[in-house]
Structures are given as C-alpha cells and as structure tokens.
Amino acid sequence: MSGQQVGYTRVSSLDQNPDRQLDGVALNRTFTDSASGRSTARPQLEAMLAFVRDGDTVVVHSMDRLARNLDDLRALVRTLTARGVRVQFMKEQLTFTGEDTAMATLLLSVMGAFAEFERSLIRERQREGIALARKRGAYRGRERALNPEQVGQLRARAAEGTAKATLAREFGISRETVYQYLRTTPE
C-alpha cells in the first residue's frame, strides 16, 4: 500500500482531548478540529481534504468524528474515495475504497444513520433536561456577555457608526453577538 496514513480527529470543545482518538495508530500527519460536527465547514477538515492524494488513507476514530449526519458522512466518504483515498473508521472497523460492495455501502448508511439518530437523542434529552431544570428554577440559561451598561455603550457606539467588527473586538464578543444585542430592545 503506497501513500500516507493521514489522521483526522475532531472534538466539540477546547477542553476535550483529541489525542485518545487515534492513540497508537501510526500516522504521517494528523488534522484536528475543535468544532461541532454539525457542519462540514471546518478548517482542518478542509485542509485535510486539500492535502490527501490518490493512494493515501484517511484514518478516523469513528464515523461521528467525521460527520454528524448521514448525508455529510456519505458525501465525504464518496468525495475521498472518488479521488483514490481510502477511508478507515477505527471504532466501526470499516474501510471504504470506492470499490466497495453493496454490503459496505449498506453498512456506511446504517452506521451513519445510527450516529445521526444518537445525536438526535442527545439533543432531545438535553432539551428535556433544560425544560425540567427551568421548571425547578435551577436553569437560567447562559450568563450574558455584557452587562446593561456595556450594552448601552455598544448601542450608542453602533448608532454613531462604529464598525460592528470593531465593536466585537473591543467588547470581546463575536460579531453575531453584537448584532443580537442590537436587535433586542433595551430593557
């Protein structure tokens, strides 16, 4: 087998450790994202896709590390295998080459559907838990990024024409958060 062994790891938050995912696997290069798997627009995934060549093998701990929904998973595997890149999932013990049997294609679909289903169950349980905690008064949501005085300053500076990106940098928040504060009515 010619080509490189290229690892791809993904964690959802910065405090998680991606090293355990491919621990003990001999790799020439590893790409690691610290981002949600809900979208395939991840910088290291895109870098890995640009890096791999015909004959390489992309090694991933499990299908849900590559994609969280079946359509994205199948599209990524198809894209890679069409370029002559093998895709190997360690946890599921499956490898896809592009010359896959009907059974391999079925397994990809079924296992990917289970990963998507599992993620849906997690979200559902999370929503239920939050609703129950709200009823008990134990959940008040996330703490606001800015206090009321800072919100007033932000709105005044935005009204003066200060760029949203400048405001985001100065207040230490994202541009989307700036827009959210500007959309909501003052308290």
Please give the structure tokens belonging to residue 101.
Answer: 């049997």
Whether residue 1 has pLDDT greater than 70 = no
Q: Check whether residue 83 and residue 170 sit in a common domain.
A: no
User: Is residue 138 assigned to a domain?
Assistant: no
- Token match 């003052």: residue? 186
Catalytic residues: 12
User: Is residue 93 assigned to a domain?
Assistant: yes
CB atoms within 10 A of CB 57: 20
User: Is residue 132 assigned to a domain?
Assistant: no
Range of the domain at 82: 5-114
Residues 147, 5: Cα–Cα separation, whole Å: 49
What's this model's pTM, rounded to 2 decimal places?
0.66
Q: Which residues pair with 11 in a beta bridge?
A: 34
CB atoms within 10 A of CB 147: 9
Give the residue from 151, 140, 150, 142 showing the smallest Cα distance to 183.
151
**48-91 pLDDT tens trace:** 999 999 999 999 999 989 988 889 999 999 999 999 999 999 99
From 88, 114, 140, give the residue that closes a domain.
Answer: 114
* Orientation angle between helical segments 175-183 and 148-159, nearest 10 degrees: 90
User: Is residue 21 assigned to a domain?
Assistant: yes
Share of the chain above pLDDT 90, in %: 48
Q: Check whether residue 89 and residue 160 sit in a common domain.
A: no
From 114, 138, 169, give the residue that closes a domain.
Answer: 114
**186 falls in which pLDDT band (50, 70, 90)?**
low
Coil/strand/helix, residue 139: coil
* Cβ-Cβ contacts under 8 Å for 35 (sequence gap 6 or more): 10, 12, 42, 43
**101-127 pLDDT tens trace:** 888 888 888 988 888 888 888 889 989
Residues 31, 65: Cα–Cα separation, whole Å: 12
From 91, 114, 137, give the residue that closes a domain.
Answer: 114
Which CATH number belongs to the domain containing residue 88 in this structure?
3.40.50.1390
Domain count, the chain: 2
- What is the DSSP code (8-state) at residue 159? H
Q: Check whether residue 109 and residue 49 sit in a common domain.
A: yes
Strands 94-96 and 86-89: antiparallel
Q: Check whether residue 98 and residue 159 sit in a common domain.
A: no
User: Is residue 134 assigned to a domain?
Assistant: no
